[in-house]
Amino acid sequence: MKYFKYYISTITLLSAIYICTRGSFYPTIFFIGFSLFIILGDFFITKDNKESSYNNLFLLNLPIYINLPLLIIYLMIVVFMLGDSNPNIFSSFLFNNFNLDLVYASSTINTLDAIFLVALSGLFIGIMGTVPGHELSHRTKEKFDMFMANWLLSISWDCAFAIEHVYGHHKNVGLSIDPATAKRGENIYKFILKAIVQEQRDAWSIENDRMRRKNIGLISLKNRMITGYFRSIAVSILSFLIGGFSGMMIFLLCAFIAKALLEVINYTEHYGLIRVRGEKVAPRHSWNSNSIMSSIYLYNVTRHSSHHEKANLKYWELKAYDGAPMMPHGYLTMLYLAIFAPFYFHSIMAKKLIDWDENYASNGERELARESNINSGISVLLNQT
């Protein structure tokens, strides 16, 4: 069972491929059911504080590897269903071999289904693509893992992540220069756009420095940003071949949603936390979560305090750290609150920040926190100054 639980995202992908092609309202029902499954699971099931030992590491890596082809197949099904292509080799292959009638599914899609199918696809790219890509991108000395990481991240057009996150964010977390650390009271929508732009810029800067040290020109196939863009272009071309121009536009929309959702996760993981420049990154510089459904689906990235303390740890090696600052709810709940109820998000997090200032922050961090509280515009925090 301790191995099997990490295959839940693989099972979810296979279920979505089947259920979402059944006809009208199935995509809508699946999206709502999937969201409630995680949110209610986090709320009602006991927290996952166990730290298990494992012998068969291949079985722990396998679901991550499987996610790549399954996610691409799922997305191409969505591209066909919402695109403007006629029956083709792809749709015929799935019908003849798996009895999946994409032509029928496409004809039954209504507006509500289309909206929820795009939303579900954005979530899937984030959960089954970006999160495993994040896990593998830290294994910088493992060529196959880096190959898989780069292709998983290419689906959301986020080649910058494997560079900026590993060599930038982990060094700068909690500092004002870190694009993935949200300030207290910061507008979520402005944060998303600012973070996307700044992460691209920082990744290019990091890669430029690396190329210069190797005496290689910036415009080269050895530039990881350029090869990363080529991977994303390849997936986009595939979506065009299967779903036509409309299908490709649907894919690009899903990719953008996935990237935006990643920034929302970044927003919630470090919201309002502060670190004095030069001080070591510690568990207190991340909001941690041991909510069980989020932990299983996200390969324990929820144990973010442990991840930032020792970024080289594999997902099954991360510590629960019950004493770390904790998110008030599970990851998907926090994501939805940040996007759709930002006022409430700021309200509940203000209470957590007051506790952090009093019980976790160093003396230097408390001084910075007072200034951040003044700039936050949040009345509860202003009263603490």
Q: What is the full DSSP assignment across 139-155? A: -TT-HHHHHHHHHHHHT
Identify the residue whose tokens are 């999946």: 100
- List the Cα angle 66/70/71 in 5-degree steps: 110
The identity of residue 377, as a single letter, is G
Q: What is the pLDDT of residue 47?
A: 86
Q: What's the pLDDT tens digit per position in 113-135?
A: 999 999 999 999 999 999 999 99
Question: How many whole angstroms separate alpha carbon 153 and alpha carbon 227?
Answer: 12
Find out whether 38 and 297 touch, Cβ atoms under 8 Å: yes
The mean pLDDT value for 155-176 works out to 96
Answer yes or no: are the C-beta atoms of 289 and 305 closer than 8 Å. Answer: no
Mean pLDDT along residues 214-234: 94
Per-residue CA distances from 154 to 29, 297, 335, 373 (Å): 28, 20, 22, 38
Looking at residue 292, its pLDDT comes to 94
What's the pLDDT score for residue 88?
95
| Dist. CA 373–CA 222, nearest whole Å | 44
Confirm if 84 and 331 have CB atoms less than 8 A apart.
no
> DSSP readout, 40-57?
HHHHHSPP-------S-H
pLDDT band at 385; cut points 50, 70, 90: low
Q: What is the arithmetic mean of pLDDT over 63-76?
A: 97
Please name which of 15, 28, 39 lies closest in space to residue 289, comparing C-alpha atoms. 39
Q: What is the pLDDT of residue 85?
A: 86
* Nearest CA among 91, 81, 54, 87 for reference residue 318: 54
Per-residue pLDDT, averaged over 372-381, amounts to 92
pLDDT mean across residues, the chain: 96
Report pLDDT for 18. 97
Q: 348: exposed, middle or buried (C-beta count within 10 Å: 0-12, 13-18, 19+)? A: middle
| pLDDT band, residue 46 (cuts 50/70/90) | confident
Question: Could you write out the three-class secondary structure of 79-100?
Answer: HHHHCCCCCCHHHHHHHHHHCC
Alpha carbon separation from 374 to 185, 353, 368, 370, 377 (Å, rounded): 10, 13, 10, 6, 7
> Is residue 358 scored above 90 in pLDDT?
yes
**What distance in Å separates the CA atoms of residue 51 and residue 297, rounded to the nearest whole number?**
16
Burial of 89 (0-12, 13-18, 19+ CB in 10 A): exposed
pLDDT bin (cut points 50, 70, 90) of residue 50 is confident
